[in-house]
Amino acid sequence: MKHFYLLTAALMVSIAGNAQLSQTENSVRHGYISHMPVKTANEAEKVISRAHDNVTEIITEAPGTAKSYLRSSTGIFLQWGTNLVEYTEEGTAVEVVFGDDNDIYLKNIMSYGATGTYVKGTIDGDKITVTLPQTVIYDEFAEDYVNLVMLEPKDVEGGQFTYGVNTESTSYTYTIKEDGSFEMDNIGWMNGIGYAFASNDTWAGYLDFNQTFIPFDNELVEGPEGMPLQSWACTTPTSAFPVVVAMDDSDFYVQGLCTYFPESWIRGRVEDDKVYIPNGQYLGLYDGIYHIYAMFGRTLPQGQELDPEDTEFVFNFDADHKSLTPTDEEMLIFFNTSWNRVYYLDYLECPVLTSQESYAGVPADPYDLVYDESNRPYYGYSAFRFYIPVVSTEGSVLDIDALYYNVFVDGELLEIDKDIYIDIEENMIDIPYKFTNYFDVWDRGYGLHQVGIYPANVQKLGVQSVYKYGDEVTKSKLIELTLQSSGIDNVEAVRTATTEMYDVMGRRVENPAEGSILIRRTVYSDGTVKTDKVIRK
């Protein structure tokens, strides 16, 4: 999910007057401000003196009874400092706190631009009144406070417009409905609540035209009672991980299908040789902002509509081999923030569930080691690439959360030094399988990993898988690559010697099924090895 950050006052002054409104269909989902350090109103006197009476106490804790709501809204945010992007928001999680003396507190008041703080309102009958301005965060980069204010369009030259503070609007209201929901009252055409910098009332790039808050009452699926728990594995074309399954003649439960919520259960029903998983099961709250549901569909791009006919995910159940395979291999499981559109935190493509009594084992050997020096002139390192299988030497699935690897340079164990590698908190030797910093240590998917090698003139590289499951540590063989001078003197002399096929888990496949995603390993007569990803036709 993409995060959008509060624009600084200096930047907004230079570009806001040139912004143009564009409509995009849900171009970005749930952007929010990174939680910056919050200061109270008496901690930065130089800013308060600039902002005069515009700064109020930032509310970081709200006294009272907290309840969860879903917020829907429409609004605008400033994208890349040049375009005003109109959006429709659906079902963001909001904490509402009901305090004493009819006080009410709304956390993360804006749909885009969450701050982790509250604004305060007052309940009177069926009305909630929120006074303005209220300070919600301190932007240390801009050295300025940010207020919730009423915004209105401001004309500029050339027919373009931006937004500015309506200083005459000192409050706005919501109307409380009989079902406990509440909706923002009309605040005027193209007007909205939003953020502005306290020192000069410059718009900070976020605005909501309207908001509706609906009480949230979805509950997590209760786990099975009186049913034995079984160790299974879930494999997809890009991953493999352990899950827990419980089932009898009528009910089916699986725990850990969404790795972001390893304790959450999903429930289905068993009918003959089929298992049916109903759509829309609630998994939990992610990052304090997103309610996540298990949804099904055949379309991957974010923002696309889900087909309302896809109400269940259906597995074929092989009782003899204790395995579940999808009846429709094109169907995806989305761990989604919306009921009707694709806004996923993660997804599973063609998941296969297989009984596996234990995840212990010795990791299979890494393969297809490649050393690429083409990065060095640009990034200062050469790329060492290799595949790490997520299966044991016996072909069983490993727990990738317990899988690591070591890299060797000229026979010496490589330490990933935080002073050399990017965004490394602590030095490490055992590199987690799923770790990536998106620069010089990569998990590139399908088992492919890449580590930047900063020393030049390396003669030998090696990699070894390390598996820390339970109290036992097992290792693969150390696989090494001896580096020689690059280039091929006689291209015509190169001939294919052998071609091998592997699945994405690193297991060799003799007769791959049609439509399978495979890693093809071609070994040439001069010893050169080439790998590529193919789909079996």
pLDDT digits (tens, 9 = 90+) for 317-367: 999 989 999 999 888 999 998 877 888 888 999 999 999 888 899 999 999
Residue 174 has a pLDDT of 98
Q: Is residue 516 part of a domain?
A: yes
The last residue of a domain, from among 355, 384, 410 = 355
The pLDDT of residue 252 = 97
Contact predicate 306/346, CB 8 Å: no
Say whether both 281 and 243 belong to one domain: yes
Based on the domain organization, do 245 and 351 belong to the same domain? yes
CB–CB of 240/403 below 8 Å?
Answer: no
Beta strands in 63-133 (DSSP E): 65-79, 83-98, 103-107, 118-124, 127-131
Q: How many domains does the chain have?
A: 4
**Distance of alpha carbon 69 from alpha carbon 66, whole angstroms:** 10
**391 and 525 share one domain:** no
Say which residue, 477 or 27, is predicted with more confidence.
477
Q: Is residue 386 part of a domain?
A: yes
- Nearest in space to 89 (alpha carbons), one of 184, 165, 163, 175: 184
Eight-class DSSP state of 402: G
pTM above 0.85, yes or no: no
Give the pair of three-digit tokens for residue 371: 């050393």
Name the maximum alpha-carbon separation found in the chain: 88
The listed range with the strongest mean pLDDT (4-8, 48-52, 469-473) is 469-473
Which element (helix H / strand E) includes 232? strand 230-235
Please state whether beta strands 517-524 and 460-469 pair in parallel, antiparallel, or not at all (unpaired). Answer: unpaired
Rounded Cα distance, 57 and 384, in Å: 52
Digit-coded pLDDT (tens) for 369-385 = 999 988 888 888 999 99
CA distances from 67 to 70, 105, 213 (A): 10, 10, 11
Whether 45 maps to a domain, the answer reads yes
Give the model's confidence band at 526: pLDDT under 50 very low, under 70 low, under 90 confident, else very high. low
Q: Is residue 259 part of a domain?
A: yes
**Do the domain assignments include residue 251?**
yes
Give residue-wise pLDDT tens across range 392-440.
998 888 888 899 999 999 999 999 999 999 989 999 999 999 899 989 9
Mean pLDDT of the 276-292 span: 90
222 DSSP 8-state letter: P
Has residue 153 been placed in a domain? Answer: yes
Please enumerate in sequence order all residues whose Cβ is within 8 A of that of 71, keeping only pairs 6 or more positions apart, or say none: 89, 91, 92, 93, 94, 111, 211, 212, 213, 214
pLDDT band per the 50, 70, 90 thresholds, residue 134: very high
pLDDT on residue 533? 62
- The reported pLDDT for the residue numbered 534 is 63
Would you call 404 helix, strand, or coil by DSSP?
strand
Rounded to the nearest 10°, the torsion over CA 433, 405, 520, 398 is: -60
Do 457 and 506 lie in one domain? The reply is: no
CB 88 within 8 A of CB 9: no
Same domain for 121 and 13: yes
Tell me the residue type at 395: G
Q: Which of 177-181, 394-398, 432-436, 494-498 has the lowest mean pLDDT?
A: 494-498
With cut-offs at 50, 70 and 90, classify the pLDDT of residue 173.
very high
pLDDT of amino acid 535:
63
pLDDT of 513: 64
pLDDT higher than 80, residue 520:
no
**75 lies in some domain:** yes
- Which of 65, 57, 134 has its CA nearest to residue 99? 65
Count each helix (H run) and each strand (E run) in the chain, helices first. Answer: 3, 38
User: Which domain covers residue 275, as residue numbers?
Assistant: 230-355
Residues 478 and 405 in one domain: yes
Q: What is the mean pLDDT of the chain?
A: 82
| CATH number, domain containing residue 397 | 2.60.40
Domain stop point among 215, 244, 269:
215
The verdict on 161 and 77 lying in the same domain is yes
Strand segments (E) across 272-319: 274-278, 281-286, 290-297, 312-318
Q: Give the pLDDT mean for 252-256.
A: 96
| SS3 of residue 240 by DSSP | strand
* 422/478 same-domain check: yes
Is pLDDT larger for residue 526 or for residue 240?
240
Return the percentage of the chain with pLDDT > 70, whole number: 80
The pLDDT score that the predictor gives to residue 495 is 40
Tens of pLDDT, residues 76-110: 888 766 677 888 877 788 999 999 999 999 999 99
Residue 467 in domain: yes
Burial class (CB in 10 A: 0-12, 13-18, 19+), 394: exposed
Residue 508 has pLDDT above 90, yes or no: no
Q: Is the pLDDT of residue 6 over 80?
A: no
Claim to verify: residue 135 and residue 20 sit in the same structural domain: yes
Check residue 445 and give its pLDDT: 74
Q: Are residues 200 and 98 in the same domain?
A: yes
**Are residues 258 and 214 in contact, defined by beta-carbon separation less than 8 angstroms?**
no
pLDDT higher than 50, residue 498:
yes
* Residues 32, 175 within the same domain: yes
211 and 284 co-located in one domain: no
Highest mean pLDDT among 32-41, 282-291, 524-533: 282-291
Report the DSSP beta bridge partners of residue 317: 324
Distance, CA of 295 to CA of 389 (rounded, Å): 29
CB neighbours of 314 closer than 8 A, spacing ≥ 6? 274, 275, 276, 277, 326, 327, 328
